């Protein structure tokens, strides 16, 4: 079974700084998809960024980028120029074929002024 591990329960960063959230996963598949979701206090899960495993190039969405290391099964999220609105729970998730999204336990990110 696929598992997703987020080893950092909480992270803190100051406004305008850069922070990296870690995620590792376990799978025997070669073609799969990885995601980072953000869950603010409003509770709604918001898709931050998506990576296709067969693509070598790391995905980027504005201030958000990933470091995808397929051999190491590692998928970290880097947030540049952190903003107060980035405060939220961040979940790493995995999906393969017609399976369903499998989530990690999450990392609480607190951005302070």
Partner 1 sequence: DAGVTQSPTHLIKTRGQQVTLRCSPKSGHDTVSWYQQALGQGPQFIFQYYEEEERQRGNFPDRFSGHQFPNYSSELNVNALLLGDSALYLCASSLAEQQTYGYTFGSGTRLTVV
Closest residue by Cα to residue 93 from 4, 22, 8: 4
**Which residues, including other chains, have CB under 8 Å from residue 72's CB and lie 6 or more apart?**
24
> Nearest distance from residue 69's CB to partner 1, in Å?
20
The nearer residue to partner 1, 47 or 84, going by C-beta atoms, is 47
Region at 43 (left for phi over 0; alpha for psi -120 to 50; beta for the rest): left
Give me the residues paired with residue 3 across strands.
26
Q: Residue 111 Cβ, how far from partner 1 at the closest point, in Å?
A: 19
Smallest gap from Cβ 83 to partner 1, in A, equals 22
Q: Which residues bind partner 1 (CB under 8 A)?
A: 4, 6, 33, 35, 37, 42-47, 50, 52, 91, 95, 98-106
Least Å from the CB of residue 100 to partner 1: 5
How many Cβ atoms from other residues are within 10 Å of residue 97's Cβ?
8
Q: CA torsion 78→50→67→29, rounded to 10°? A: 150
Closer Cβ to partner 1, 48 or 111, answer by number: 48
């Amino acid at each position: 079974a696929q598992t997703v591990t987020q080893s950092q329960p909480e992270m803190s960063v100051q406004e305008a700084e850069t922070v990296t959230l870690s995620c590792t996963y376990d799978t025997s598949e070669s073609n799969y998809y990885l995601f980072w979701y953000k869950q603010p206090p409003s509770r709604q899960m918001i898709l931050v960024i998506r990576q296709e495993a067969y693509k070598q190039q790391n995905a980027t969405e504005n201030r958000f980028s990933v470091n995808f290391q397929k051999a190491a099964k590692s998928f970290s999220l880097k947030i540049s120029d952190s903003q107060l609105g980035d405060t939220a729970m961040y979940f790493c998730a995995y999906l393969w074929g017609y399976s369903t999204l499998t989530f990690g336990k999450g990392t609480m990110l607190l951005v302070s002024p």
